[in-house]
Amino acid sequence: MFFTGCTTMDSKLPLKVEKPATEREQTYSGLKNNVTPAEPGDFTPDEYPGAAFASDREISEPHTEQEIIDSALEFCQASNDFWEKGELDNAIDCLDKAYSLTLKIGNTVNPVILQEKEDLRITIAKRMLEVYSSRFTTVNGSHKAIPLVMNSHVQRAIDLFTKGREKEWFLKVYARSGKYRPAIVRELEKAGLPEELSWLPLIESGFSTVAISSARALGMWQFIASTGYKYGLNRDTWIDERMNPEKATKAAIAYLTELHQ
């Protein structure tokens, strides 16, 4: 991800040139074999949780990439409507359907669709956190900005990274996070964002400044070129600032701040 205008970050945040990381792909492979995601599944207007108050909108099975994006956005809007009415389970259900739709879009070569998919993915994650957060109340005067939720899926992922095949990778990445996370936390605090977002690079890239995905997302925060450029990350024949941990962190915080507003 998860995931601008800040002061200069701590000098202890180095730009280290490494070989392109492959751990991320190994992690996804491990997750694929051990944690089975929900299948996207088809939906009809009758299955749509917002049909009761959105009968004026007809939702049909999307076919093109743009139709999939548009349908996912409709589910996001319905989720927001449910959230405002206090119907949290329905709000979460709509977000699940929106995310399932994004899974139908593969490694598209359309840069517009790729950008919309990236924005939608972050928006869904942010909304999901907001909905879950609204379920919790303060008990002793302090609480985490993002609540910790434990269920069978979470436990399976914990076991994968602490007992399973990804344990060695996790320990290496956790150690690597010590180079960057303290400075990331300071910048998040300045921006008024939850400290927990400092762990997004662990999932996105394994805290590797040179990690690259099949969609050509690059760096610790996994920016695609167009998003990176939008948030001030330049690139040319000689440099690509998506690999600069300081500048990429500021860009990521600007991105997350904009999504939060």
Max CA distance (Å), the chain: 56
- CATH (one of 1.10.760, 1.10.1660, 1.10.530, 1.10.10) for 1-37+156-261: 1.10.530
Check pLDDT > 50 for residue 58.
no
> Percentages helix, strand, coil for the chain, rounded to the nearest 5?
55, 0, 40
253 within 8 A of 4, measured Cβ to Cβ = yes
Q: CB-based burial of residue 133 (10 Å sphere; 0-12 exposed, 13-18 middle, 19+ buried)?
A: middle
| Rounded Cα gap, residues 102 and 125, in angstroms | 12
CB count within 10 Å of CB 77 equals 15
Portion of the chain with pLDDT greater than 70, in percent: 69
How far from chain centre, in Å, is Cα 131? Answer: 15
C-alpha of 169 from chain center = 20
- Residue 39 has a pLDDT of 41
pLDDT digits (tens, 9 = 90+) for 166-195: 899 999 999 999 999 999 999 999 988 888
Domain boundaries, the chain: 1-37+156-261
Q: What are phi and psi of 212, to 5 degrees?
A: -135, 135
Residue 61 is predicted with a pLDDT of 59
- In this structure, the number of other CB atoms found within 10 A of the CB of residue 79 comes to 28
More confident residue, 30 or 154: 154
Tokens representing 205 are 């890239």
pTM of the model: 0.50
202-239 pLDDT tens trace:
988 999 999 998 888 999 999 998 889 999 999 988 99
